[in-house]
Every structure is written in structure tokens, then in C-alpha cells.
Amino acid sequence: MTYEVLARKWRPTTFAAMAGQDHVLRALINALAGDRLHHAYLFTGTRGVGKTTVARILARCLNCETGITPEPCGVCTSCREISEGRFVDLIEVDAASRSRVEETRELLENVQYAPTRGRFKVYLIDEVHMLSGASFNALLKTLEEPPPHVKFLLATTDPKKLPVTVLSRCLQFHLKNLTPDRIVRHLEMVLGEEKISAETEALWALARAADGSMRDALSLTDQAIAFGDGQLQADEVARMLGTIDQGALERILEGLASGDGEALLACCADLAEHAADFPAVLRELMAVLHRIAVVQAVPAAAPVGASVGDQVGALVVAMAGRLTPEDIQLYYQIALTGQRDLPFAPDPRSGFEMTLLRMLAFRPQQPGSEERPARVEESAPAQGAGSAAATPEVAAPRPEPTRSATVTPQPESGLRGTNGRSQPLREEPDSITVKPEAPPTAVPAATGPAPLAEKPPVLAAPQHWHDVIPRLELTGLTAELVNHCLPESVEDGRVRLLLDPAAEPLHADVHVGRLEAALTALLGRPLKVEIRVAASADETPAQQAARQRAERQRLAEQAIESDVNVRTLIETFNASVQRESIRPLG
């Protein structure tokens, strides 16, 4: 007896047997039950989602000998002949092989004749978008006003290629891709009827590989049955599909969670040994990261019980508790960028390894972990505590002799040091250069931050505020807020600032808190910041920067317009200078 493939053997013959597509079936069932039938239906969707199947079931419903019904009997002559593909009044046409206008006209010549056996003459045109423009024109009039005994059922995977005149003459139903969960349930039913044992993880692998197509899922199942000699085992199906073992994903995520670069590289080497498809591995890693992010954002979405269906479900739940949401979002973004850059890598393996190493390199510092020591501190234990070589970058002269030749005394101030020390900051570009032979006593002894009450508060002067801002090392909107402020007063541990009214939208508690923390760290004592929205007679740093930019722009425009060559061009060709194209240097 000839073997019949699963996709054909288990093709549904009733709406009740259809897997999914409830939104389409409900409309058709209600129309059949209420006898509200249209003359032309258009079914759209990707391959293998049931377009032609729905059309054939609808043809059975229209021509069942028991009457027009959403539940055809399946035993009458019309139902059996339609199922067997030999019903004379069901004319199936593949538009891909009959796209010429002559063939379309020949097809429509018999439209006016009554059906031979059935109640309706049904024209089922598959891949209708393949018809030529002339064929569509020949079809239009008949499609709009066919005889009452004719029904048109059109199916296509690309409705965008259909003329609007055709779309407007049809009722359009879009069949959606099937979810892996829905495909797995259908495969379990089919394999149960076929008496074939299958591991749940193997079915999930087939469902994911089918990419929403039930026909592809059944075809892959046929192939897996032959590959596994009548059984569907997860490792055999993975080998057939060329996918990776889910244990590899677990090892990758474990390596990321523990920050173990050696384990990640070992996993990459193991994947390369098994000739893994690294772009596919990266896609699967992104899919798992997506599921983890969903569980972290919506705990109720965590897979539980039978709905997990695969090993990845347990991995998702475990990693959602170990990794922070920030880490997951960072890993997903890096993986997305790595997927884009993978074709430009020397080879897929090195590109995949670099993607994983980026995830480690850019992972945020974890709470409680020690920061990396600076290079100077790493070399310090090997040198004498009192030797001049203990600070090599200080002992070495600066490349700018004019700055190192002149030493300008700096007044002691709470703004001149960090952590209670008043010596100049080393990162300051104009800091004093200390010669190697200079004794340590040449530097004034640090006596801690001067109390704000002993001397006039330096924050109260706008020129000091301009100097303080770079030392705060603020970024983003907080830095914008600070640049639009000026000090009003400093007393009793409170810093009162005036905020330019034009920047009032920047005023937020989170930015004030960051400013307080930065000032406290800089001065070495707790400070409270209060911001009042009011105009100031002095320029804020933002206003000063804007004025300086405008002045540079004015000078640049003046230089261009006064240039001899430019003046010659203007006078000779009646030209004009486009001021918006002028940009100052620097």
C-alpha cells in the first residue's frame, strides 16, 4: 500500500478539525449558518497555514447534499469527491502555471453554464497574485458580478501584488502563523493517532523550525520519523535540524551569569567541533533572552507545568532570578548588534565569540564587587614607599614646558581637593608639575576641608561655579540642569542655586539628588541643594557657552565675507553666501 505523507493524510476536512485560525472560521461558520454568502473570498497568509484547506472545506459546505451547512456530512457523494479531488464542479487552478490571459479567458468561458453535479460551481485559484495584469483585467467583470451559481475562492501568499480593483471585489481573510504551542498540540494528536512515540522537547524543536507553518511542521515530522527510525528523540531531531543542544544555551547563560570568559570560549569551541551554525545559535540565544526579559517584566508570564514544554522553559525561570533586567537588556542589545555585524567578521565563530566577550566587557559593575585598581596602584607595591619613582607620571615632565615652568600658588579651598585633601587634582590639565628632586615637604600639608563658615563660600561666586562644574563629572540631564544654574548662597551646609526659567523642565528631584551626591563627594562633607527658578544677573554656564558659540559663529561669518576670493566671486557672479553653511573651526 502506498504511504501517504502526514501533511496530506491529516489535512482537515471540516472546520472543527482545523488547527487555529478561529477568527476566520467564526466568520465563515456564521455566514454559512445565516445564509449570508459572498460571491468571492480571498484567503491570505504565509505558506502552510491552511488557505487552500479552508477553501476546500468551504466548497464542501456549499455543495454538501444535505444543504448549505457549516458542518458538511462527509459521507455524501459531493463531500467524498471533493475530498478526493475529483469533484467536477470544483475547478482548482494554479495561477503560477496558468498566468496568461488566454488561459484565464478559456477558464471563464464556462462560467455562464450551470454546475453539473453540485449546487455551486466553485473556482479555487491558488497563488492568484501570479496572474498577469491582462489576466486580472479579464477576470474583473466576472469577479464583480458572477452568475448566482458561481463562487470564487482565491488564495495568495502575497496580497500586496493584487490590484486594488480585485481586493475591493472580495471578502478578505488573513490566516495567521500558528504558534509553536499550537503546533505542538496538533503534533501530539497526530502522533498519538499514528502510534509513534515522541519526546516533548523534540516536538518543540519541530514546532520552532516550522516557523508558524503547520504543513512544514508535519513535513519535518515525517522526516524526523524516518531519521529516528520510527521514534522522535530530542537529540536526534536536533541533529536532523542542525540546531544546537539546549544544554549549550544553558552553559552560555551560566558563563554570562558568573562572568566566566573561559567557560564561554570553551562552549564556543564545543559548538565549533559539532559544526554548529553560529548565526542560528545567536538567534536562539536572543530568543531565550527575550523570554527571560518577558518573565522579569511580567512574572505571570513565566512558563509553568505542561505549558513549559521544553528544557528552555526551566532555564528561563532560573535565569530570570539570577540575572538582573539591566543585564538581560544589555545582552539582548549586544546580541542584536552582533547579529548585524556577524557577516563582516573574519569567520562566524570569531564573530560569535566577540559578541559573548562584549557581553562580559560591558556588563555593569555588580554590587559588592571590587573595582579594578588603576595601573599606577598596580605598580606601586613593587616600588619603595619613599622613592620618587612611586609616582612615575608625576615625576615625568609634561610635554608643555610653558605650563610646567610657571608655578602659580593656589589658595586653600574646599573645592580644590577630594576626600578632604586640598592638593590640586592630578587630572586637572593646568595642575602643578612636581619635579622628582622636590622634597615632599614642598607641598603644603593637607589639613582637611576648610569649614564653609571660615572663609567666604567659593560656590557663591559665578566664576567659581564655572570651575566647579567640570569637577562634578555629571552627565546627561543632570549636567544640563547644573549648566543652567548659578549659586545664590552657601550657608549652614545648604547650597542655594538659581535656575534659569528657560530650563525649568529640567528641574527634577532625581537630578537634585545626583548633584547633592557629587558636591558632597567633592567637598568631603554633606551638603543640601535647594534650587529656585529665577533669573540671575550673571551668565549661567549654558548662557556663557551659547554666547561664545554665537561669537565664534559671527567671527567665522565675518572672516568668510571679508575674504578677497569670496568678495570676487560675489561681485563677478552676483553670488551670495549661505550663512547656515558656515561653521567655525574648533
Identify the band that residue 506 occupies on the pLDDT scale cut at 50, 70 and 90: confident
Identify the band that residue 339 occupies on the pLDDT scale cut at 50, 70 and 90: very high
- The sheet carrying 485-491 orders its strands as 485-491, 494-499, 528-533
Residues 74 and 188 in one domain: no
- Determine, yes or no, domain membership for 516: no
Q: What is the pTM of this model?
A: 0.56
Residues 338 and 256 in one domain: yes
pLDDT above 70 coverage of the chain, percent: 81
Identify the band that residue 244 occupies on the pLDDT scale cut at 50, 70 and 90: confident
Residues 335 and 210 in one domain: no
Q: Is the pLDDT of residue 437 over 90?
A: no
Identify the band that residue 366 occupies on the pLDDT scale cut at 50, 70 and 90: low
| Dihedral (CA of 462, 465, 466, 467) sign | positive
Among 70, 64, 76, which residue's Cα sits nearest to residue 37? 70
- Count of domains forming the chain: 4
- Determine, yes or no, domain membership for 100: yes
Distance CA 317, CA 304 (A): 9
Residues 6+ apart with CB under 8 A from 466: 541, 544
Residues 223 and 262 in one domain: no
Identify the band that residue 387 occupies on the pLDDT scale cut at 50, 70 and 90: very low
The overall average pLDDT reported for the chain is: 81
For residue 306, the model assigns a pLDDT of 38
Query: Which residue segment(s) compose the domain that 56 sits in?
Result: 6-174
For residue 375, the model assigns a pLDDT of 41
- Determine, yes or no, domain membership for 409: no
* Last-in-domain residue among 151, 174, 197: 174
Identify the band that residue 448 occupies on the pLDDT scale cut at 50, 70 and 90: very low
- Determine, yes or no, domain membership for 145: yes
- What CATH number did the domain enclosing 56 receive? 3.40.50.300
Identify the band that residue 58 occupies on the pLDDT scale cut at 50, 70 and 90: very high
Residues 228 and 167 in one domain: no
Among 141, 66, 72, 80, which residue's Cα sits nearest to residue 111? 141
Residues 211 and 111 in one domain: no
- What CATH number did the domain enclosing 347 receive? 1.20.272.10
Q: Are 234 and 199 in contact (CB under 8 A)?
A: yes
pLDDT per position as a tens digit, 466-496? 888 888 889 888 999 999 999 888 888 888 8
Residues 56 and 123 in one domain: yes
* Last-in-domain residue among 174, 200, 218: 174
Identify the band that residue 427 occupies on the pLDDT scale cut at 50, 70 and 90: very low
Neighbours of 428 (CB within 10 A): 12
Residues 155 and 124 in one domain: yes
For residue 385, the model assigns a pLDDT of 40
For residue 388, the model assigns a pLDDT of 39
For residue 382, the model assigns a pLDDT of 41
Identify the band that residue 303 occupies on the pLDDT scale cut at 50, 70 and 90: low
- What CATH number did the domain enclosing 232 receive? 1.10.8.60
- Determine, yes or no, domain membership for 255: yes
- Determine, yes or no, domain membership for 56: yes
Residues 215 and 153 in one domain: no
What DSSP state is assigned to residue 34? T
Identify the band that residue 575 occupies on the pLDDT scale cut at 50, 70 and 90: confident
What average pLDDT does this structure show over 567-574?
A: 88
- Among 76-80, 283-287, 428-432, 504-508, name the one with the lowest average pLDDT: 428-432
**Which cell is 51 given?**
488557505
Residues 151 and 184 in one domain: no
For residue 440, the model assigns a pLDDT of 46
Q: Are 44 and 26 in contact (CB under 8 A)?
A: no
- Among 209-213, 515-519, 520-524, name the one with the lowest average pLDDT: 520-524
Residues 193 and 319 in one domain: no
Decide: helix, strand or coil at residue 129: helix
For residue 458, the model assigns a pLDDT of 53
What average pLDDT does this structure show over 158-167?
A: 92
- Determine, yes or no, domain membership for 453: no
Residues 29 and 164 in one domain: yes
Identify the band that residue 284 occupies on the pLDDT scale cut at 50, 70 and 90: confident
For residue 409, the model assigns a pLDDT of 40
For residue 275, the model assigns a pLDDT of 80
Q: Is the pLDDT of residue 386 over 50?
A: no
